[in-house]
Chain A
């Protein structure tokens, strides 16, 4: 069955550094992959989408890469700020559906 893996351990980094989060998946070839941000007690908010034929996508301080051979996406936040502290979820369509399934998320903590 399809598995989506994100590091369950929180990522702690210092303000100003680049945060890199990983999303690995198995047993499927998704047409796209999405990244969402979730703050405690609130609903996830869409950040970026990258399609299978794209290697990299950028939006302001965010960068996403998508390696369909490794079945992996990397999510980077450059010049991180304490306000970037949140849980980041990756999501991708699994099985025969084009509706995304979510990973469990990785918590990012940016220390001032």
Chain B
């Protein structure tokens, strides 16, 4: 089944404790991205990757890191989480080559709480 998976789905942590949220897709998509979603603010892009070893900042990259060492995986790293990073996080992927469509396929979400 074609899908984007994220782990963990729920995470409660404390300020300053490094964490990684994993994202994996099995559709051989070139493009992957991370969003955070907060009430009243909608989906905001954190980072994106056009292909392996190619990443770039989205609209709200501060406090986050990403890497793209393999095509299927795009982990999101919070080196020193703070309470303002409490949010619902989504990973998404799309076929970069299909420029006329670029349908985004989203993961199930990770609800992060930073105390």
A interface list, Cβ under 8 A from B: 8, 31-32, 34, 36, 41-46, 49, 51, 89, 91, 93, 98-105
Contact = CB atoms under 8 A, between A and B. Distances in A.
Given A41-B109, A43-B92, A43-B109, A98 B102 contact: yes
A88 to B, nearest CB: 12
Contacts of A51: 100
13 contacts: A31-B99, A32-B101, A32-B102, A43-B92, A44-B43, A44-B104, A45-B106, A49-B101, A49-B103, A99-B48, A99-B94, A99-B102, A101-B45
Q: Which 7 pairs from chain A and chain B are nearest by CB?
A: A43-B106, A104-B42, A102-B43, A98-B99, A46-B103, A43-B90, A44-B106
A98 B92 CA distance: 15
Interface residues of B, number: 26
B23 to A, nearest CB: 11
Given A99-B33, A104-B41, A104-B42, A43 B108 contact: yes
Tell me what chain B mostly uses at the interface: helix, strand, loop, or mixed: strand
B64 interface: no
Given A31-B100, A41-B111, 9 more contacts: A32-B101, A34-B103, A43-B108, A44-B90, A46-B104, A49-B101, A89-B43, A101-B45, A102-B35
B107 interface: yes
A101 to B, nearest CB: 8
B41 A91 contact: no
Nearest to A103: B42
Contacts of B90: 43-44
Contacts of B102: 32, 93, 98-100
A22 to B, nearest CB: 15
B94 to A, nearest CB: 7
A8 B101 CA distance: 26
Contacts of A31: 99-100
A56 B49 CA distance: 32
A46 B105 contact: yes
Nearest to B33: A99
Nearest to B9: A41
